[in-house]
Structure 1
Amino acid sequence: MTEKQTPARVAVVTGGSRGIGFASARLLAADGHAVVICSRNQGESDTAAKEIIADGGTAMGVHGDVSDEASVGALFDTAEAAYGGVDVVVHAAAHAGLGRTSTVADLDLNVLDELYRTNIRGTFMVAQQAARRVRDGGAIVTFSSAVVALSMPGYASYSASKGAVEALTLILARELGTRDITVNAVAPGPTATELFLEGKDDRTLSELAARAPVGRLGTPEEIAEVVAFLARPAGHWINGQVLQVNGGVL
């Protein structure tokens, strides 16, 4: 890529090969970002990048594991080498612990350790690299979950991991404020992603959909619209917030 072709803005999207991450990557590319899609599956990240390129965007797929420090550093190295810098980081990769419910009394602590490694330690490592590398005026978006605010029995371990993400997000927003970098968390409600639908019967899905006044699940595209807005100049006055994007789920 020649200097003349270097994109004005560059976005790194973890978990960007499918679901909310991929929907966010597509919108960011449509807004003119060169998008670096990170997935633990190189084939999936490459396929996602090819789809964006076919739509006229600029993208590349990268293999990465957000729970591994060297892998996270290499992700940002790759983005900088390919496109000259990083302006937006969307950390959509997370442990799929939402489907594994347990009371606090009965929790298998191995589950807690898995959640910690990906949702807390992994988010912290991505946030750390973002804090070091995102150019002034950029944006960082993390992902929490509606279950934190709902305080639902059985979700203590997952909610605790996402509550840590919220705390990290709000503090990082204050630490990076002098560089005009915004940091926000998006907290989706029940959303019809492949991962969310997996293993749930029709009755369960109907019950979850009924929790929202509109009576349906959200879509990845609806969540992605909020992510893309936070990365745009129009969304730059929103900072240090946890945005509940849940259709009014109760």
Structure 2
Amino acid sequence: MDHAGRHALVTGGGTGIGLDIARALAAAGAEVTITGRDLDRLKAVAAGTPRLHPLAMDVADEPSVRDGIAAAAGARGPIAICIANAGIAEGAPFHRETLDQWRRVMATNLDGVFLTFQGALATLGREDWGRMIVISSIAGLRGLKGASAYTASKHGVIGLIRALSEENMGSRITFNALCPGYVDTAIVSRNATEIAARQGMTEAEARAYMARGNRHKTLLQTDEVTGAAMWLCSEAARSVNGQTIQIAGGQVA
């Protein structure tokens, strides 16, 4: 797989799944813009990898996204590969969830994908090659108890890629969603700490509890999601469009 000469943009590219995908794309020859709110962290993870380019960008802030994508495209060309990965995972029982909490999740997980894809597509022509991939979740395919806003946001991005695949049918740009289960990242570690404190269990027990949310009862590793993303970015997946790919150890929906 050779992406030399192509420009990729990965939101939430400073940690976890986003960083792993960004490194794989850079290893395949792409110039990769990694975005996030913590510029110091982005600079630290990009150090020593010349094809990783840090950019401070908050996907929940429209001017930040519009200006950031324009700057990235101006520096490295049209965004041929866009990985909309930035997201937040917050949960609460529905009766206690506030409108501010709901809007915060939607602003990042759904509005952020809308802004990112719209900005990236504006850099491409109708005849250009492109891969637009959103990192959704198994919560985009079924409901998660105590996470109504998160579930709704992840269902929303799947609807978005399905609509965009139809709107751009016949072009060389594809739109797909990856739907991983629980992945062993900082988010899982943070949630394990919160679950342990709330439920009176150890963090190891909390991690095992989350692992049982995957069909094979094992936490996923980031390379499993990266492998699927790299396949979608390959020519072998040129006819895969508007799809949701489950990565959860078994059938989810």
> Counterpart of 1:174?
166
Cα offset for 1:13?
Answer: 0.5
1:126-150 Cα offsets, whole Å, 9 max, x none, are: 1211222235111000121112323
Contact 1:88 1:134 in 2 (8 A): no
Residue 46 of structure 2 is aligned to residue 49 of structure 1: yes
Query: d(CA) in 2 for partners of 1:223 and 1:40?
Result: 23
Task: For 1:107-186, list aligned pairs within 5 A.
Answer: 107-134=97-124, 136-186=128-178
SS in structure 2 at match of 1:150: coil
- Greater shift, 209-218 or 233-242, is seen at 209-218
Query: d(CA) in 2 for partners of 1:108 and 1:167?
Result: 24
Q: Paired residue for 1:101, among 72, 89, 92?
A: 92
Q: Paired residue for 1:62, among 42, 55, 59?
A: 55
Alignment-mate amino acid for residue 178 of structure 1: G
Could you say if the C-alpha distance between residues 78 and 147 of structure 1 is closer, same or farther in structure 2, counting changes exceeding 3 Å? same
Q: Any stretches of 5+ residues in structure 1 without a counterpart? A: 1-6
Q: Paired residue for 1:26, among 23, 26, 46?
A: 23
Query: d(CA) in 1 for partners of 2:88 and 2:216?
Result: 28
- Greater shift, 144-153 or 9-18, is seen at 144-153
Cα offset for 1:214?
Answer: 3.3
Could you say if the C-alpha distance between residues 13 and 134 of structure 1 is closer, same or farther in structure 2, counting changes exceeding 3 Å? farther
> Counterpart of 1:78?
71
SS in structure 2 at match of 1:35: strand
**Identity, % of aligned positions:** 29
Query: d(CA) in 1 for partners of 2:77 and 2:145?
Result: 46
SS in structure 2 at match of 1:178: coil
Cα offset for 1:190?
Answer: 0.4
Contact 2:140 2:158 in 1 (8 A): no
Contact 1:184 1:242 in 2 (8 A): yes
Residue 89 of structure 2 is aligned to residue 90 of structure 1: no
* Dislocated runs of 4+, deviation >6 Å: none
TM-score, normalised relative to structure 1: 0.89
Alignment-mate amino acid for residue 229 of structure 1: W
> Counterpart of 1:233?
235
Query: d(CA) in 2 for partners of 1:19 and 1:51?
Result: 18
- Greater shift, 211-220 or 177-186, is seen at 211-220
In the alignment of these two chains, the number of paired residues is 237
Contact 2:216 2:248 in 1 (8 A): no
Contact 1:148 1:162 in 2 (8 A): yes
Q: CA RMSD in A?
A: 1.7
Cα offset for 1:249?
Answer: 6.8
